[in-house]
Structure 1
Amino acid sequence: MAHAPFGKMDDGATVNEIRLGAGALGLSILTHGARIHGLTFQGRPRVLGFANIADYLTHAVYAGAVAGRYANRIAGGRFSLDGKSYQLPCNERGRTHLHGGMRGFAHRNWDIVEADDTHVTLTLVSPDGEEGYPGTLQTYCTYSLDGNDVRITLTATTDAPTIINLATHSYFNLDGSGDILGHRLTIPADHYLPVDDDLIPTGAIADVSGTAFDFRTPTAVGARGQRYDHNFVLSKERQSEPRLAASLEGPQSRTRLDVLSTEPGLQFYDGGYLAGGGFGAHGGLCLEPQVFPNAPNEPGFSKATLRPGETYRQVTLYRFSEI
């Protein structure tokens, strides 16, 4: 395990980089956003990352970060909990609350709890009222390497009822260059969530059959000319153990990534807007296990509430292999 300063945040806080390695995997983690800065398999890069902290601070594409306190979108930044209404900042076009707001978890510098050659645990305290959220939230993120698996364990506790939805936000490009439109994607989901013009789910849970959202068999990302920033329904609620959420194949590198997770939903973003974020359009894609977007405002969606005495727990695995 190598541990060294990577740069400084605007407030002067030092951002540290932790490098892990085991077998065919190499992993670089930054304390800023508890993010995956670099991920290699068989010596080749598999995710997008910036070369310096200034670019991470400038480009709001959440590359490799843990998004929260509520990842994805909340309509109008409003929700109600136990009869009380809350207003969160609308940091996306002034219309939606995205990835926890202006000081969401992706923009915070996490503390290192422990680290060795194959794992690191980081923690972050989000105080009551931060970004408008109720309750003080203590969150832990552990990255560990085991064989060809990167295992990500996210846990959190609160001292008052709150909402939480954490998501890992790496941009994958298994070939290490070019775009991902030729990558073959499989998502074992029979349903997805249609969205409105603000990318907020309409509340409907739609069948993928006969649509551009049917990825139940391997399909090239760019095969249908569809833009993707949608949530796929894997189950009604969080599972106790990870199960397959998606598979991705790089045509040039002949590499396969299986994403396994406990989460009920999977956000698939094709990276179509990355041209304005420091990378090329479709330079990478995101596969983000999570609770459904806007779930606090949709009674029919999966639970997003966390109460004192409960522990939020998400486990996601990135499993690599050669085709």
Structure 2
Amino acid sequence: MSDAAPQVMGGSIETVELTRGAFRAQFLNLGAALRILEVPDRDGTSANVMLGFADVEDYRGPPRFYGAVAGRYANRIGGGRFTLDGTQYQLACNDGPNSLHSGPLGFDQQFWEVVAQEAHSVTFALESPDGFNGFPGTLRAQVRYTLEPDGLSIALSATTDKATVVNLTSHGYFNLAGEASGATILDHMLQLPAERFTPVDETQIPTGELRAVEGTPFDFRTPRAIGRDIGVADEQLRIGSGYDHNFVLDGGAGALRRIATLFDPGSGRVMQVHSTEPGVQLYTGNFLAGGAPGTSGWVYAAHAGLCLEPQRFPDSPNQAAFPSARLDPGETYRHDIALRFGVAGDAGEAFSV
């Protein structure tokens, strides 16, 4: 995205903090973003494992989506257009010929209202008007964050007054070594229960193929280091300048189940990601280098963090064979995410649960 991208104007950026046991989380009303999440390591020392900006004013843009709720349609829609019930909708494009995370001033750049707060939870709400960035229907969205004894749960929901498409996710960048460590995530080990992924064209729109991961750099069924194959000669890795792909999760969707396990050998931190969605986008921070200082003050390098974004598949509104992202009046869109943390002495222990 160009540095000339529109910047959110007006409004006051406010923070909300929650603590529970060894966990501390900080949220912003801008983008309903998770800015800080402090998690203990194997020695009991807590560190923030989320990337973000040191100065909250830098969240006004150009956006990097740090910790924000991405929507109303997270990820890419090809050509910035789709057809629903015979009507074609043209979206605002902000990623070459495509719409990324719903175009400029998406949900990440909107001020959300705090509508409820309790000891361990906070709920943000946002109303997006009919026609904003080209999407049909007035969408009323909510996200409820709850600190649990073992991590953070994220409950996303939405309703509409007109048929539309919805795909909400949490766009956190994680570094389990700690945001202030200066380490990259290339030594992190990842396991994904996915036998297939969705390869993309030169503009990073899925081709429609569900390709087997076996024998490719995309096979994370057995835990492997993120950096093991990221530099190999592979056409898909070339297009994304690393991993920036949707994985087709085994076991279907609808029930909350584990969709990813991430382990940092240095700190011993383990993160299990649980979701109700059919896919997860792995993005390895390929374009993070430069920019405004991060939360601890250092300027991030490429691969300083990674995203694991549970979701409907990118470009689903244009691909009938993909799980539907349609939402009709009278229905409620729901997406539940849980980030559960622990510690392990080694990879064998981390991935044995």
Q: In the TM superposition, what are the counterparts of 1:199-278 in structure 2 within 5 Å?
A: 199-224=204-229, 225=231, 226=237, 227-235=242-250, 238-239=253-254, 241-278=255-292
In 1: Cα distance, 2:156 partner to 2:291 partner? 27
Kindly state the Cα deviation for residue 117 of structure 1 after the two structures are TM-superposed. 2.3
Kindly state the Cα deviation for residue 146 of structure 1 after the two structures are TM-superposed. 1.3
Q: What residue number does 2:313 align with?
A: 292
List per-residue Cα deviations over 1:4-24 (Å, max 9, x = no partner).
Answer: xxxxx9533112100001112
Kindly state the Cα deviation for residue 237 of structure 1 after the two structures are TM-superposed. 5.6
Does the 8 A contact of 1:91 with 1:102 survive in 2? yes
The structure 1 segments of at least 4 consecutive aligned residues displaced by more than 6 Å after TM superposition are none
Question: What amino acid is aligned across from residue 196 of structure 1 in structure 2?
Answer: D
Kindly state the Cα deviation for residue 276 of structure 1 after the two structures are TM-superposed. 4.0
Question: What amino acid is aligned across from residue 256 of structure 1 in structure 2?
Answer: V
Q: What residue number does 1:23 align with?
A: 21
In 2: Cα distance, 1:251 partner to 1:193 partner? 29
2:103 equivalent to 1:82: no
Q: What residue number does 1:3 align with?
A: none
In 1: Cα distance, 2:327 partner to 2:8 partner? 32
Q: By percentage of residues, which structure has more strand?
A: 1
In 2: Cα distance, 1:35 partner to 1:292 partner? 22
| Aligned-residue RMSD, C-alpha | 1.3
Kindly state the Cα deviation for residue 41 of structure 1 after the two structures are TM-superposed. 0.6
Matched position secondary structure for 2:270: strand
Aligned length: 313
TM-score by length of 2: 0.86
Kindly state the Cα deviation for residue 197 of structure 1 after the two structures are TM-superposed. 1.0
Q: In the TM superposition, what are the counterparts of 1:152-191 in structure 2 within 5 Å?
A: 152-176=154-178, 177=181, 178-191=183-196
List per-residue Cα deviations over 1:266-298 (Å, max 9, x = no partner).
Answer: 000000110144421100000000000000000
Q: What residue number does 1:151 align with?
A: 153
Matched position secondary structure for 1:272: coil
From 341, 346, 353, give the equivalent of 1:320. 341
Does the 8 A contact of 1:27 with 1:39 survive in 2? yes
When residues 236 and 98 of structure 1 are mapped into structure 2, their CA distance, relative to the original with a 3 A threshold, is: farther
From 197, 202, 218, give the equivalent of 1:197. 202
Kindly state the Cα deviation for residue 252 of structure 1 after the two structures are TM-superposed. 1.0
Q: What residue number does 2:61 align with?
A: 58
Kindly state the Cα deviation for residue 238 of structure 1 after the two structures are TM-superposed. 3.4
TM-score by length of 1: 0.94
Kindly state the Cα deviation for residue 315 of structure 1 after the two structures are TM-superposed. 0.1
Give unmatched runs, 5+ long, in structure 2. 1-6, 41-45, 232-236, 293-299, 345-353
Matched position secondary structure for 2:13: strand
Identity of aligned residues (%): 47
Give unmatched runs, 5+ long, in structure 1. 1-8
